[in-house]
Structure 1
Amino acid sequence: MKKLMFYLLLAGAAFAQAAEPVRTKLPLLDLEHVLAVLVYSVIGIVVMVLSFAIIDWVHPRDIWGEIADKQNRAMAIVFGCMMLGIAIIIAAAIVG
């Protein structure tokens, strides 16, 4: 019985050691990654503004007039959700 317990403990220790992930030290601030984040952020913002301009151009009503002047909450919610959906698509395209 003692031999069996010894082998079980030995196997458990070996399994725990093998399951431990290998840790590598990553640099805290890599210029290449920071530059990539800035470029992708600018591209995402530009695409977002262009998509809103296209939606504003295609839509038959004045979006800003409806939301700001007439206080149309329903239109604000619809266009907010639409922009959120476009932002999710842009983020998924950037992440890959």
Structure 2
Amino acid sequence: MDAFWNIELAELVGTIFYTFLGMALMAITWRIIVWISPFSIVKEIEEDQNIALAVLIGMLFVSMAIIIAAVIVS
């Protein structure tokens, strides 16, 4: 229980900052993907039920999250 109370304010602020930074990078990545794709990604996934595209986009976001986390930790 003592470890919980030993959290410093700088660590908390850094965690919150990097969380929002990672979310912003993910949003920017999504906008770039939508911008460069020759078709509507949202229409393909939602209306046409393109599972392969949904899995591909999901894997892209997981890989981006791993890269962002590795950069933040280093």
TM-score (ref. length: structure 1): 0.70
Q: Which of 20, 34, 42 does residue 42 from structure 1 map onto?
A: 20
Shift of 1:28: 2.2
The alignment-based identity, stated in percent, is 33
Q: Does 1:78 align with 2:48?
A: no
Which consecutive aligned stretches of 4+ in structure 1 deviate over 3 angstroms post-superposition? none
Q: Does 1:94 align with 2:72?
A: yes
Number of the residue aligned with 1:62: 40
Structure 2: unaligned runs, 5 residues or longer = none
- State the aligned residue count: 72
State the structure with more CA Rg: 1
Shift of 1:88: 0.9
Structure 1: unaligned runs, 5 residues or longer = 1-24
Distance in 2, matches of 1:60 and 1:84, equals 23
Q: Which of 24, 31, 35 does residue 53 from structure 1 map onto?
A: 31
Q: Deviations over 1:29-86 (max 9, x none)?
A: 2111100000010001000110111011111111100000111101100111111111
SS in 2 for 1:77: helix
TM-score (ref. length: structure 2): 0.89
